[in-house]
Amino acid sequence: MSAKQKKNRTPRGGQRPGGDAPLVKWVIFFLLLSVVLFAFYATYLDKTIRGKFEGKRWSLPAVVYARPLELFPGMALSPRELEEELQLAGYRRDRKAVDAGGYDRRGRTFHLVTRDFRFPDGPEASAPYTLSFAGNTLTAITRADNSSAVEGLRLDPARIGSFHPSQHEDRILLTRPELPELLIKTLLAVEDRNFYYHPGLDPLAIARALIANVRAQKTVQGGSTLTQQLVKNFFLTNERTFWRKINEAIMALLLEAHYDKEEILTAYANEIFLGQDGNRAIHGFGLASHFYFRRELNDLSPAQVATLVGMVRGPSYYDPRQEPKRCLKRRQDVLEIMLAEKVIGKPAYQEARSAPLATQTMAGSGLNRFPAFLDLVRRQLAEDYREDDLTSEGLKIFTTLDPRVQRVVEQRLAATIARLEKRSGKRNLQGAVIVTRRENGEILAIAGGRTPGQPGFNRALDARRNVGSIIKPAVYLTALGKGYTLATPVEDTAFTVPNAGGKPWRPENFDRTTRGRIPMYQGLAHSLNLATARIGMDVGVKSVVQTVKNLGVPGDFPAYPSFLLGAASLTPLEVTQMYQTIAADGFYLPQRAISSVLAADNTVVKRFDISTEQRFAPEQMYLLNTALQKVVREGTGAALANYLPASYNVAGKTGTSNDLRDSWFAGFTGDLLAVVWVGKDNNKPAGLTGGEGALLVWGEIMRDLHPQPLELTEPEGIEWRWVNPNTQETSPTPFWFAGNQVKLPFTAASLAEPNRTVGAEKTQESREPSAGGVMQKILDWFK
């Protein structure tokens, strides 16, 4: 073999010397590249962790509260009503009330322990009380610890809803000192015994889980640390992929490198998912304690702690309400671990083992107990707060909602509409109700439909319906401001209003009859269209439109004559604002559903104080409200006598739109104002007048609420006179031989002016046969 052949000969193995050098270089290159990429990726994950963990970790929803229940001896309140309030506020019924948030009842005596609560005007500490009843009256309140008499007691309010971000998560944030040691020790014993010793990953736990799962031939044990579980819940998704497990491991190590164990443990306790309440996700042990047991976390028994910790593995699978047997078995497993790890002793273990699950049902505890009311709250808050503030800053919204009033409104609206459907044969009737406090405009209850617990179209706020005769008090108020009196003669006779280029307007009374000359108050009391239209045309339609605006109704209305009889569309809320001004004696009170807003740290952000503006003279309002009382005593609202005695002196007005499409009633007592609408969503005839539909709902509601009688405050300058309804003459003393005479209030100035007759110049050519003619006058002589 030549030297050249020897030089070119390939060694055995098929490779030349030094031929693997490029491969080694490539391997090293890829290893270095992987390290660099891993470093970049780890840096990215590190930035993600620190950015979220050091910033605002959770978007806290705004929590909305009802008004607090204020109790005092002599208060009209039944034991049943008190217990309903306590249940709504999240109090639990115990065998013996010992811990905060518990109560027991023995006949007509209640023992309860209030909860610590931060009200807008300051904190109030938990204390035990005894409440005694006689009939439906609260007779005495005493401190159970020292037997001292108490003049007044304020209970923490019911939580009625929340404004959540899109993920609908809810939690009660707790600090590390607020986490009970019993919970922490149990959690670590069950989920991560080496928590304080591993760097985020626990190889021993992973090995134990692997062996256990191989032996069982299925997954029976997990090897994830609490840190890994926190990373999965807080940063990652629940998808089961290899790449997610890699991310979880890296992020767990990074989290442990930056933050101490106590901070990680606290975050875990606030983040862990523990159940579902409708659309609302229950996160954290703090909220879960309230949701399942109506207790503060530090008041839980060992059995209850074991229940919550056992649910960490699968909140739905071990749901104590849906899967009690499965949950009880899981609780027993946790209790055995607690005993083995010396978290509890033998006596405590035996007691916990025999304890029932004892979960408490939170009736209606979802996102929104009263959707129509919360809809209004959200709209009013939107005037001052961004949507992000409402869903992420943990605001505490204190509202004016009265749960007792709301409950009555919901029950009576649904029951009365069902009865109306059965009686009239009509179907698909709907309704809306708003109840306010007369003296300050606080909205106490709203029903947006006959099934008010279901969210949907809010008729109380958004249903724009023809108001019919409910608008008429504005006509009479305008006239009273221009010197008319309640006794001013008015011709209730037919007439025609020309309409250039259009069809003339010819109003008619509801019963197609006329009544001739009547005192003005009767036009309102009996809701006479002809008399009202004559008055409105006399004072000017534009003036009436301005009165409606001054009463608080927003918007512009064309000054057409038909407006005088209610040819305008308003929402029940707008009608309520109009009557709020009337009920408040001419003072404009913007209606409000919110009293205060607190930040997450309990500092007061805003108080919604009462603002008033006097828009009408007291004398005007006194005369108008006297006439509205006549509506109920002798006019279209007389059917209220079936619900409330005459001594209540209710003032109100019925309203009916064309073709019986809308049935309205607005009325007020000494302390409450309510507006009711009944009709159909498709605007087809409901077949009900205001007195046949809405008035019945109003009466049922007020009968259950036991309102205060209405006592109008008579302003200075009012003088009373007897009025002969046949001649419209007035006298300080009763008339001889005059039937149906009535005593009415007048302003002193109006008595000095000559009386006028509305429509007198048109009566000769347009008068029709009258229901109150000459024969009626002759008969009056013999009454």
Q: Which residues are catalytic?
A: 191, 469
Instruction: Please tell me whether residue 682 adopts helix, strand or coil conformation.
Output: coil
User: Does the CA dihedral 77-83-89-94 come out positive or negative?
Assistant: positive
Round to whole Å and give the CA distance between 640 and 698: 9
Q: What are phi and psi of 185, to 5 degrees?
A: -65, -40
> What torsion, rounded to 10 degrees, do the Cα atoms 189, 193, 199, 205 define?
-120
Round to whole Å and give the CA distance between 636 and 473: 14
Could you tell me the two tokens for 67?
Answer: 């008004």
Taking every pair of Cα atoms in the chain, the longest distance, rounded to a whole number of angstroms, is 160
Yes or no: say if 133 and 107 are a contact pair by the CB < 8 Å rule: no
Residues 6 or more apart from 39 whose CB is under 8 A from it? none
**172 Cα distance to chain centroid:** 20
Q: What are phi and psi of 37, to 5 degrees?
A: -65, -40
Q: Which residue has the tokens 């749901």?
A: 319
Yes or no: say if 763 and 514 are a contact pair by the CB < 8 Å rule: no
Task: Tell which residue, 321, 318, 320, 293, has the closest CA to residue 183.
Answer: 293
Name the residue type at position 307: T
Yes or no: say if 666 and 576 are a contact pair by the CB < 8 Å rule: yes
DSSP 774: H
H or E stretch including 445? strand 443-447
Q: Which residue has the tokens 């693997």?
A: 20
Round to whole Å and give the CA distance between 108 and 395: 38
Round to whole Å and give the CA distance between 368 and 487: 51
Yes or no: say if 103 and 94 are a contact pair by the CB < 8 Å rule: yes
Residues 6 or more apart from 22 whose CB is under 8 A from it? none
Round to whole Å and give the CA distance between 706 and 644: 9
Yes or no: say if 436 and 705 are a contact pair by the CB < 8 Å rule: no
Let me know if 562 is exposed, middle or buried by CB neighbors in 10 A (0-12, 13-18, 19+). middle
